Structures are given as structure tokens and as C-alpha cells.
Amino acid sequence: MRVVFIFQRIVHYWLLAPIVDAALAHGWSAECWHDTSYSRKGIKAYQYPELAKAPQFFNGRPTFVTYEGSAQFGERIRERRPDVIVSKQSPQGCCRCLLPDERPTWVTVQHAIDTFLTYTPSDLLSSDVVAIYSEWWINWAARHFAEEGQVDDRTEFERVFARKARPVGFPALDVAARIDPLEVRRRWGIPNDQPVVVLLPFPQGFGKGAFWPSMICTEPSRLQRAINVFAYRRFDYWSHIWHDCNDVSVVKALRAFCDRNGAYLLVKSRKKTPIPDYTRAVADKCLYDEQYYPATILEALSIANVCFNFYSGAVMEAIALGVPNVCITFSADDYNGRNRLLLSRHKRFFTSQEGGLFRFTGVSTAITIAEAIETLPRRSLESFAMDPAARQRYIDKYLSLADSRSAERLVDEIEHAVASPGVGADVVPKLPA
């Protein structure tokens, strides 16, 4: 079996490398194709898929290939057609230059919510197999597309999508079993007997164009907050000037929490989300991604006693690794501002309702910014202890399994799809014009 893995960014190794390793262990001929058309400039330049940055694998060495953009990708496929393509992208979303009869079996691998925000229903259904975490995501995707007005018949889309979806778990987590926590502590200079609190900083994602995230929440100066309110005529935020209910106060409260519990404060971010000076001032160590296989976030969680974040998808990684999660919540209206599309998406997924991804009694606690500032300095690590039974319920719902064998299950599903072409084929449900 010859399988091609597409890497449009070097960070995609975090997601796909365990599948490459499982394919190698299966005796397949694995090829990692890097798209060199990705920009080397801008805040995301560090994601350029440079061959020299490709990781080492545990089960052998794949072949590495470069191509420049979709046109050359199509040429390479036609020159020597592989059996399978595995990608974070859907075929329509990645390469529209291939005709259906030219295209190998295509496997799209879920990347949390991004898969459903980036690709349309028709994009996803152009895949032969969609590797998802659990069945819960089938229903959520159908609801999302229906509420976005992208499908006319939610039930029909759900039926068709379910035929292509394969709930295999979260393959990116498989490598966590190979991480040595003591080696991680040694490399980062953290005492073996000291508790570790991991902080994933306030996000600069969807809300980066809104007023509140940068002008109020992450602005440490009260005077500058006042200037911002006047300059942008956002007098609805007048009360926010005098009250330090913001990210600066959150990290100070978290520092007090660590001091009370004798804990080490480890801040993990990504270069596209720079760590503010006020966070660096109170952290014991700050990290960006040092590698993607094993991913730095998994190494950080391997030594964590608790993980604090702001509606981060890392909640699933933390809970799968047995780390209690604390989600610090904020107003969707403040974060997304006047962007109604982002606001509706935010409210659909980033919810603090009980039983959701971010508030799940026994594994993930949700507290507001104000509550974090008020209560963290008085809380103990033990107050966030994880309930093993609740953790299993969470995994059953959102991840299917967390047994380090998700990539193996996907390889089995790929083998079956190649042996039985057309199994997932169906009539595409009617989509809005």
C-alpha cells in the first residue's frame, strides 16, 4: 500500500505523524509531501513546511517529497498515483485540479472544530473517509451546517456524513504514551517533586479584530484603556476602565494560586499568540512549540497537575492525559464584537454549559474571569482533582477511546476503504444554492 500524507504546514505533523508511524508499522510505503508554496513571511512564517524540520519516526522512515501548490500536486499524482492520500484537508478544499477518476482514496483527518469551520458540507463529503474523534461530532457537524444555512436537510446530511465518518479517536494523542515525564522535567529544569500548573494564554484567534480582547482585556494600563475607549468611542466599555477584571489580573491570581500550592507555572503558547510581558513576569517558564512529534503541548501536559486555558481545544488533550482542566470563560459578545458570523459560531461551540467540552463536572471546571481573580488565590490543587469515572464519560462522548491506538484503528479503516471502494458513497444531500 502506497500512502501519501499532505503537509501544507509543518505544524500538521502534530496531527498526522502518529498515522504515518502506524502506516510504517503496517509495512506500507509512506510518503510525506510538503507544500512549499506556503508563505515564509508573516506571523505564521514559522509554520513553513521545511523538510529539515520533519520529525523522526518510531517505526521507520517515510519518503519526503516537495511540491509547489495544487497544480504541481496534481502533476505528481498523475505521474504516479498512490493508493491513498491522508490529509487535514478535504479533497475539494485541498486540490480541485484532480478529476474524480484520477483521485486516490482520500482520507480527511479531523482537527477539532477547525475541520467544520474551514470546509463546507460538500468539501467534507468529497472525502472517501473522514476520521473523526467520536460519533458526537457527526451530530454536532450536522447542527452546525444547518444553523449556518449550508444544508437544507440536517437529517439527510447527518445520514450521509455518518457513512463516511469513522470514529477512531484522536490519533494525535497516541504519542503521549511514549513521553517520559521525568525526561521532560529534566530538559526544562523543573524539579521532579514540584507540582506543575500549565497555562495556555488568552487567545488571539477569532476575536483579534474585536475591541475588547486587545483594547480592554489584555491592556494592563488603566490610562490606556481609557484612551482606547475615547479613541474608538466605545463608551459601552466605560465601566471596564476602572475595574481590573482582565487577563493581567487573571495571571496574577494564577501566580498566587501557584505560590499557595508550591507549584511551578509553565506557560505554553504558539508564536502566532505571543506571550505578553505581564505573563512572562509571573511565569516560571514560557514555551512556544519546540517540536511537533511529540508535540510540545503533550509534553507540557505529561507533567501537569492542572491545565488552565480560555476555551482551548487542548481541553480534550488534557483530560485524555488525566489532567484536570480549568476553562476561564468570557463573553462571546465581547470577544467577537460586531462580527455576527463568528459570534454565532462561538456560541455554538465555546459554551460553558454543563456536560459540554469545557464544563464537565469531575474533569473540567469553568469559571469566569472575575471568579478566577477572586477565588484562585485561595484554592488548592486538590480542589480541581479529577474524577476517573467522569473522565471516562467525557472520553466516551468526545473521543471514543484514549488508548494510544487511534492511528492503528484508522489504518485498519483505510485498508478496508481501499479494499471496498464506494462503501461510503451516497447521494449528496441537497445544499443551498
Residue among 157, 248, 164, 194 at smallest CA distance from 381: 194
How many residues belong to the chain? Answer: 433
| Whole-angstrom distance, CA of residue 5 vs CA of residue 159 | 28
Q: What is the dihedral of CA 86, 89, 95, 100, to 10 degrees?
A: 60
pLDDT at 433: 44
Long-range contacts at 217-226 (CB < 8 A, ≥ 24 apart): 217/246, 217/247, 217/330, 217/334, 217/369, 218/246, 218/247, 218/248, 218/276, 219/246, 220/246, 220/248, 220/276, 220/278
Helix (H, G, I), strand (E, B) or coil at 402: coil
274 upstream amide cis, omega within 30 of 0: no
User: Edge to edge, what strands does the sheet with 29-35 contain?
Assistant: 63-67, 29-35, 2-7, 84-87, 105-109, 129-132, 165-167
Task: Quote the Cα angle for 16-317-372, to 5°.
Answer: 140
Q: Please give the order of strands across the beta sheet that includes 196-199.
A: 285-287, 264-268, 196-199, 306-309, 325-329, 364-368
Q: How far is CA 353 from the centre of its chain?
A: 20
d(CA 338, CA 344): 11
Residues of the chain with CATH 3.40.50.2000: 2-170+404-419, 179-398
Ramachandran quadrant class, 311 (left: phi over 0; alpha: psi -120 to 50; beta: rest): left
Residue 423, C-beta contacts closer than 8 angstroms, at least 6 positions apart: 163, 416, 417
Burial of 182-204, coded b for 16+ CB within 10 Å and e otherwise, reads eebbeebebeeeebbbbbbbbbb
What is d(CA 167, CA 199) in angstroms, rounded to the nearest whole number?
A: 30
Cα–Cα distance, 148 to 168 (Å, whole number)? 27
Q: Please provide the CATH number assigned to the domain covering 2-170+404-419.
A: 3.40.50.2000
CATH number of 179-398: 3.40.50.2000
**pLDDT tens track, the chain, 433 positions:** 999 999 999 999 999 999 999 999 999 999 999 999 999 998 889 999 999 999 999 999 999 999 999 889 988 888 889 999 999 999 886 776 666 667 899 999 999 999 999 999 999 999 999 999 999 999 999 999 999 999 999 999 999 999 999 999 999 999 999 999 999 999 999 999 999 999 999 986 545 678 999 999 999 999 999 999 999 999 999 988 888 999 999 999 999 999 999 999 999 999 989 999 999 999 999 999 999 999 999 999 999 999 999 999 999 999 999 999 999 999 999 998 888 878 888 888 889 999 999 999 999 999 999 999 999 999 999 999 999 999 999 999 999 999 999 999 999 999 999 988 765 555 455 555 4
CA–CA separation, 85 vs 103, rounded Å?
Answer: 9
Per DSSP, which regions of 318-406 are E strands? 325-329, 364-368
Cβ atoms within 10 A of the Cβ of 232, count? 11
Query: Rounded to 10 degrees, what is the CA torsion of 137, 142, 145, 150?
Result: 140
The answer to whether the beta carbons of residues 388 and 76 sit under 8 Å apart is no
- Interatomic CA distance for residues 296 and 423, integer angstroms: 38
DSSP β-ladder status, 2-7 and 129-132: unpaired
Strands (E), 200-324: 264-268, 285-287, 306-309
CA 26 – CA 311 distance, rounded (Å): 37
In the numeric block, which cell numbers belong to residue 347?
Answer: 456560541
Residue 134, Ramachandran bin (φ over 0: left; ψ between -120 and 50: alpha; else beta): beta
CA 245 to CA 231: how far, in whole Å? 21
